[in-house]
Chain A
Amino acid sequence: MRLKTLVLAMMATFALSLAGVGPAAAQIEVDVNRGDVQPLPIAIPGFSGERGAEIAQVINGNLERSGLFRPIDQNAFVEKTMDVNVQPRFPDWKAINAQALVNGQVTVESGRLTVNFRLWDVYSEQQLLGLQFTSTTENWRRVAHKISDAVYERLTGEKGYFDTRIVFVSESGGRVGKVKRLGIMDQDGANPSYLTDGSYTVMTPRFSSTSQEITYMALRPEGSSIYLFNLETARRETLGNFPGMVYAPRFSPDGGRVAFSVERNGNSDIYVMNLRNRAAARLTSDPSIETSPSFSPDGTRIVYNSDRGGSPQLYVMGADGSGPKRISFGSGRYTTPVWSPVGDFIAFTKQVGGQFHIGVMKPDGSDERLLTTSYLDEGPTWAPNGRVLMFSRETPGGAPRLWTVDVTGRILRPAPYPGAASDPAWSPLLN
């Protein structure tokens, strides 16, 4: 009995000591595996000062079109006037469920525009970003695009794509006598202008990823040629003369080479030209049609389409033409492959079962996904962040229009350009 008492006492003491070493307060674990996935509610009141309201409007439009943000109607704002140097009244913004807030101020002095802005996390009540830009007063839209990029990057973690431009083929006239001119606009459809006069047909414009330079194919009755066109200097030059038809040019990622196709006697092959010494090399020699070359972001590989297997499919080869390997094996026709600027996907046009699709697949051909379906979707081009694609869509009897879709396929919408247009090419971010 005495021994039992002793043992019990020891156990109790041990238990007490164990209890004593525990934390003072409990830690409770909660798992959250579901969420309310929706565009982020963001408030962007008009900036104070000249052009302030318009700048805010451009930012609103950019973020809304991305599909990742839901700008809140300005009529709902409780705090009506803001000073960029004073902390916002966060409860006023929480009350309208804004999760982020962008406010700013514009000053104009001696023809120079200075824009300050701040990005706030409303619920954490912290400033996430504060930047100041200067430029000429007429350049206010670009300042708005730069602010949009900064806000987008801070809130998503990915680079923005708003301070960019699109070159495209502007189409006018009927089916007979259609005029195809080279056009350019900001990514939001603003500042459209023509780069060619319509006296010849323009096709497949492509941006250099390093400079404000484009290459395109010009088709005249006497034949085709490939042009290089520098947007800064307006200098235009041809790539040279080739026997046969040249088409589908595209820059290498460093801008030092152009790959293109040459068609002769029904056989198309891919060539690459060094722009410094103008030396051209033939990369394919198969008796089939090889075309639409597009470099990988590191410049070591080229994706293209070839019908050597019977129908157009996608292939990848070394940038010197070595080791071609087929990567698409689905039914239908795969054309216009474009390597994403971040390297993770290759976009393409697919025609199957009487429908056209814009799709993406990994560079090894896996994980193929079709993002769009319509009567005629074709010619994808990547935004510089590799998350958004622009392409042209045509409806029966209608004119082609530009559309955008994100890489998940969920955010599909018309691009903000009202005219008939095809063959878009997205620029890199402007400097």
Chain B
Amino acid sequence: MAARSNEFSPAMIASVLLHLGVFGLAFVSWPWTRDLAVGASVPINIVSNAPDTNLRPAIQAPEEQTAQTEQPVPDAPPEAAAPDPTPVPTPPAPKPAPAPPPKPVQKAPVKPAPKPQKAAGLDLDALAADVAKAQKSSGSRSSSAPKGPARAETAKVARPDLGDGMAANALKGLADELQRRWNPNCEVEGGRTVKVRVTFTLGAGGQVVGQVEAGGKERSANAVEQAAAERAIRAVHQAAPFKTLPRDFYGDRIAVNFNAAEACS
């Protein structure tokens, strides 16, 4: 019995009571918490960078379904050939242009290539025709060729099969489309001197195939440059599809030089 009473000595009881008291204090809310001074600010925490999301079911995902290869161009009327690559928005997307009506693209006077009957030995005429054909179908047709009317908006491109005037007009139309959509930010520091070169590939139907790139500026560490590159890329996406371009341009790589100096002046 004596041993039992030793287990609950006054010191032990006091200790237990003190512990219980401290534990209980934790549940008491005190009325004299500090009032924030007028003008004091309460902090805000950035908890996390939210990850990219792509959770919309595939059927609703507005994925661009673009043809990766050039479609065979039928001679039939254009409406038969236009497989619209993107899900058409309920109200139609911004209309491309007032530009010239879609002409049934006449595949220009396709190489008359008079092919006389074979002659024995080296046929120089046939060889010359082959050279002309090869030059026409290769990249050299648009590489530089400073022909066509001198226009500020378009570089000159020689397209033997389209004729200089037609090619220049088509490219002017393309430039017009882009400058109607390009919204450079002239108000930010450095925005007025921005130059962005954007490249993309035209698919059949005039839509953009694959990525529109700004030479890496769209990932630049310079935030103003990055934003400017994104605005230029946005102009291309907004202006696409370039349906007024003749089919001869389909499959071509387009490089657009956006220059803010004049646009912001």
Q: Which residues of A contact B (CB under 8 A)?
A: 5, 8-9, 12-13, 15-16, 19-20, 22-38, 40, 67-68, 78, 84-87, 89-92, 94-95, 97, 99, 114, 116-118, 121, 123-125, 127-128, 130-136, 138-139, 142-143, 146, 153-158, 165, 184, 193, 195, 212, 231-234, 342, 344, 386-387, 406, 408, 410-411, 430-431
Contacts and interface: CB of A to CB of B under 8 A. Distances in A.
Nearest to B194: A157
Contacts of A29: 155, 157, 255, 257
Contact of A33 (B39, B60, B153): B153
Given A12-B127, A142-B41, A233-B40, 12 more contacts: A13-B127, A16-B130, A35-B184, A89-B60, A91-B62, A94-B238, A125-B62, A130-B49, A135-B43, A157-B223, A387-B189, A410-B187
Interface string B230-265: 100111011000000000010111111111111110
25 contacts: A12-B124, A12-B127, A22-B138, A23-B138, A28-B255, A31-B152, A31-B175, A36-B180, A85-B55, A91-B62, A94-B94, A95-B90, A99-B234, A130-B49, A130-B51, A131-B46, A132-B47, A132-B49, A142-B44, A157-B185, A157-B226, A158-B188, A231-B37, A387-B187, A408-B187
B9 interface: no
Contacts, number: 288
Nearest to A86: B56
Given A94-B94, A156-B185, A232 B40 contact: yes
B182 A32 contact: yes
A30 B178 contact: yes
A212 B187 contact: no
B94 A97 contact: yes
A37 B37 contact: no
Interface stretch (B76-84, B98-106, B112-120, B140-148): B140-148
Given A19-B134, A30-B155, A134 B44 contact: yes
B152 A33 contact: yes
Interface of B: 37-56, 60-62, 64, 86-94, 122, 124, 127-128, 130-131, 134-135, 138-143, 152-155, 157, 171, 174-175, 178-191, 199, 201, 212, 222-228, 230, 233-235, 237-238, 249, 251-264
Contact of B93 (A91, A124, A139, A386): A91
A95 B87 CA distance: 12
A86 B41 contact: no
A37 B53 contact: no
A35 B179 contact: yes
Contacts of A195: 38-39
A300 to B, nearest CB: 22
A27 B254 contact: yes
A131 B46 CA distance: 7
A157 B188 contact: yes
Given A33-B263, A90-B62, A157-B188, A15 B131 contact: yes
B139 A23 contact: yes
Scoring A8, A24, A31, A431 by chain B CB atoms within 10 A of each residue's CB, the highest score goes to A31
A35 B153 contact: no
B16 to A, nearest CB: 32
A193 B40 CA distance: 12
B230 A124 contact: yes
Top 6 closest A-B pairs, CB basis? A91-B89, A130-B50, A157-B224, A234-B37, A231-B39, A23-B139
Contact of B44 (A16, A133, A157): A133
A123 B225 contact: no
B5 to A, nearest CB: 48
Contacts of A342: 189
Nearest to B223: A157
Contacts of A431: 41, 43
B47 to A, nearest CB: 5
A318 B183 CA distance: 42
Contacts of A35: 179, 182-184, 235, 258, 260, 263-264
Contact of A25 (B62, B171, B252): B252
Given A19-B131, A156-B224, A67 B139 contact: no
B77 to A, nearest CB: 26
B105 to A, nearest CB: 17
A5 B124 contact: yes
A36 B54 contact: no
B61 A87 contact: yes
A9 B124 contact: yes
A68 B185 contact: yes
B89 A92 contact: yes
A212 B263 contact: no
A25 B253 contact: yes
Contacts of B134: 16, 19-20
